[in-house]
Amino acid sequence: MFAATAVMAVEVSVVASDRGWYNSEGFHDPTSLYYNAGGPFGATELRNFFVFDLTNLPAREATSAVLRLRGGSSHQPSGAPESYQVSVYSGDRDALVNGTGGLNAFNAMGTGIPVGTFTSVVGDPAVATLIPLSQEFLSTIPYGGFLVLSGRVTTLPGSMFSNVAPQDGPRLIITDGSIPLPTAAGMATVCLLAIAGRRRRHAT
């Protein structure tokens, strides 16, 4: 054992185990891989959600976290910037994902305390969108359980993520700043032990 006085940042990426959208009539298609948000789509608004299975993820000393989505195209008729808000979903997860959440699920999506926001402009390409999550969020990450994030467009009319590639899963990317690095003295000790081991092998 040797002392470690420095740390390095390591990114831990978790792909969403489920994702989707609800419309303002309380409808969700559990077979859909899209996560549109905004509107109007027809006569309804859409809000989206993302489920992350953290049951096998040990606790981390998170220094930052990012929600990575695909898309970000804005379709606001006026051409004004468009805003998307992310919050932690606190409703029934099973009902949410199986499509029985109804209006209660829709009304709860993207309406809690914001943990992240993103602003898009007309013509943004459907590429990776990185939404930094708040420092307050870091202390509430449910390691060993499930995390559900939800979002809504707060500048209707307009839409985001409408050109999403369904095969490109949303990701939660956590930066863990607690991975120790060995000190210079510790590295030197390791090298000396390795050299001594080689000399013993040659001597026998």
Q: Is the pLDDT of residue 131 over 60?
A: yes
At the second CATH level, the architecture of 9-180 is Sandwich (2.60)
- Domain borders along the chain are 9-180
Q: What are the tens digits of pLDDT across the range 89-107?
A: 999 999 999 999 999 999 9
Q: What are the tens digits of pLDDT across the range 47-59?
A: 999 999 999 999 9
Q: What is the pTM of this model?
A: 0.82
Q: What are the tens digits of pLDDT across the range 29-41?
A: 999 988 999 988 8
Q: Determine the Cα–Cα distance for residues 132 and 114; give it in Å rounded to an integer.
A: 11
Sorted by sequence, the CB contacts under 8 Å of residue 165 that are 6+ apart come out as 70, 71, 126
73 exposure class (CB count in 10 Å sphere: 0-12, 13-18, 19+):
buried
- DSSP-assigned beta bridge partners for residue 48: 21, 151
Tokens of 163: 């050109």
* N-terminal to C-terminal alpha carbon distance within the chain: 27
Q: What is the pLDDT of residue 201?
A: 43
